[in-house]
Amino acid sequence: MKRRAFLAGVGGAMAVPLLPGAALAQANPVEAQLRTLAQGAPVKKGRVHLELPQLADNGNSVAMKVSVESPMTAADHVKAIHLYSDRNPVTHMATFHLGPRAGKAEVSSRVRLAGSQRVTAVAQMSDGSFWSDTAEVVVTLSACLDES
């Protein structure tokens, strides 16, 4: 009886997730990476659609899909899509190099998320412009220690 109540109590206390905004105010590592990438050009919000589940069962593998509105012609296309994490030990998660032969600016993969965080996707266009989108993910941890 006592144990069950204890477990339920702990469960209740842990039910409130720590959102990125509630974390300590630290220099955002993503901003530093974006400055290096854009070299002074503005990184505008829009044209990019980053999809991640709002709640991830496990941070080891989370479905990620990023798509960019672009005609993908030789004259106007997405050169690359960059992915950044504001909490992982390695901020720059991946870069996907596209081009007019892609036909469609859409890439899917599965990513590692070291805890609840905000992921940022930046599209680097052929005309030199940068567009971005972000997604917030709550990542739940395993309840039990596994030493199997």
Nearer to other proteins, 86 or 133 (CB): 86
Return the SS3 of 29: helix
Nearer to other proteins, 88 or 132 (CB): 88
Shortest gap between Cβ of 110 and other proteins (angstroms)?
4
The binding site for other proteins (CB under 8 A) comprises 3-4, 7-8, 10-11, 14-15, 17, 53, 55-58, 60-63, 83, 85, 88-90, 92-99, 101-104, 106-112, 140-148
The token pair at 85 is 């994490």
Q: In what helix (H) or strand (E) does residue 80 lie, and over which residues does it extend?
A: strand 78-85
Nearer to other proteins, 17 or 46 (CB): 17
Nearer to other proteins, 3 or 25 (CB): 3
- CA 91 to mean position of chain CA atoms: 10
Shortest gap between Cβ of 77 and other proteins (angstroms)?
12
Residue 22 gets which letter from DSSP? G
Shortest gap between Cβ of 24 and other proteins (angstroms)?
21
Nearest C-alpha neighbor of 88 from the set 70, 64, 108 = 64
Shortest gap between Cβ of 91 and other proteins (angstroms)?
8
Distances (CA, A) of 114 to 53, 59, 72, 97, 119: 15, 6, 33, 25, 11
